[in-house]
Structure 1
Amino acid sequence: MDTSLLALLEMADHATPATPLTIDQSHESMRVHRACSIDHCRRKALAFNTLIAAGRIVPDSSRQR
Structure 2
Amino acid sequence: MFQIHQEPKSETECLSNIKEFLKGCGALRVETFDANDLYQGQNFNKILSSLVALNKVTA
* Both proteins in one fold, TM over 0.5: no
Structure with higher RCO (Cα < 8 A, 6+ apart): 1
Normalized per residue, which structure has more helix?
2
Q: What TM-score results when the alignment is normalised by the length of structure 2?
A: 0.30
